[in-house]
Structure 1
Amino acid sequence: MNRTARLYALVEELRAAAPRPVTVAALAARFEVSTRTVQRDLQALMAARIPVRAVPGRGGGWSIDPGMTLPPIHLTAGEASALTTALAAVDAATPYADAARSAAQKIEAAMAGPAAAAARELARRIVTLPRPGDSAIRTAVERALAEGTVLLLSYRDAAGHESDRAVEPAGLLAADGRWYLIAWCRTRRAGRGFRLDRITAAAPTGERAQPHDLAELLSGSAAAGAVRPTALGPLPVAIA
């Protein structure tokens, strides 16, 4: 078993045992490698931000949070190629760019043979013109959306006027190659769209935000007709 396959197998072994920890010795015996090899593999998983952790004390070992990982997903060669190619086109200004990059690497690492070669060849044919993006701002926006917390923004509008806002994020809008944070603005007491490349600073507060309906905030605006991307919608059901 090569190392890539073993890393995936380690994750599944820990998932199967969760929440009970598994000792390094047991993992070494399971995969017929040394305990030092297992320790290196576990450190590699941690570096890749897989939610594995060491449990100290008697009866301890290593465990994983099964709620933070996905079970194996069986993709066709075409699906894997499409995902790898789409993720390869994500630039630094796109929300969740870091997660997209690591996901593409994991998909590529899991593929083998002609399918892997085809996916890599297709990805090499995709090029983008990079746009500037501040990773700290992007990370703050991602965190506020994921955790449902208030975000403090410094924003420069189209006329160049700067202002500071406390906003309650509701979602993201993609339009004409630009990304917008749609949020309830406490200063304006209304829904507003903030273009990500015009946000000059963003700081999470940890304060719980009120939930807001994205469609309701967009209602009456130029983006009122925005729809969920086809790829995120339900698959059509075949009727016999």
Structure 2
Amino acid sequence: MTTDMPARMLRLLSLLQTRREWSGHELAERLGVTGRTVRRDIDRLRELGYPVEATTGHAGGYRLASGTAMPPLLLDDDEAVAITVALRTAAGGLGGIEETALRALAKLEQVLPTRLRGQVTALQEATSTITWESRGPRADATTLTLLAAACRDHEIVTFDYTTRDGTWASRRVEPHSLVASGGLWYLVAYDTARDDWRIYRLDRLTAPSPTGRRVPPRTLPDPGPDPAAYVAAKIATAPVRYRAVATVHATADSIRVRTWALASRIQPISESNCTVDCSDDSLPRIAQALATLDTSYTLDADPAVVDYLRLSATRTLDATGPA
């Protein structure tokens, strides 16, 4: 039982920020107090400016909603706008902090007043950043935020999805988690129509829409429960257009530190040699992956890969001039 009231209220606020809605019974169990104590603590949060709403339904509940003013987070309006825009930018692709920024963004936008949402949108639309083509397709920050909330709340969403061969169809899924890998974002979800787990690239996903229907959380199949490991395993075994496997004259550990290939695609075959599966749908990406090996290797690849590599080598030699 949490007897320290300030600590209990901070715990209560943290719980309200991690899920869209809690029943009074659930909160009482988590905090180890009575329902009456929860109601008093909710009233204290409201007095401090936190917009906690009571919900209807079986046994009733509570949720943290958008308020008419920012709750006392030691942020003024300008600071709240600046942080929200920065988090949106980071969640959209600033390397290394995407997942942390997305979690913080979901919490902040949940209580952002309507008048500030307009400022954030205006500033976002009036600014732009340089995107290098080599970084590949990027996910939309609004889509990331919507799907992050759906994963948190176990809420079914619908969207349109374009596959790698260009066909598209509507999807209805139970979102589980978001995973960032190699500059791309993936949604791990249970597809209700196919009655199976699927992985969706967010840059191929459009018109996401929450349905308002929540379902019990599902457990990932093998090699779950780690979503990142699940996505890595699926990507490593997914069908690709071009096959290219290099036998590298270097240790697997030394290759892992200088290539972006998934760890599951690097396999040791002796103390001083390993194989690296660089297979991909893109010939330029295969060439880039092989270049990062930075050591001698032999290659087992499709004829199209060999032809492309020879053409690239010829262009490089021509560009450097006579020896």
Coarse TM-score class (shorter-chain normalised): 0.3 to 0.5
* Larger RCO of the pair (alpha carbons < 8 Å, separation 6+): 1
Tell me which structure has the larger Cα radius of gyration: 2
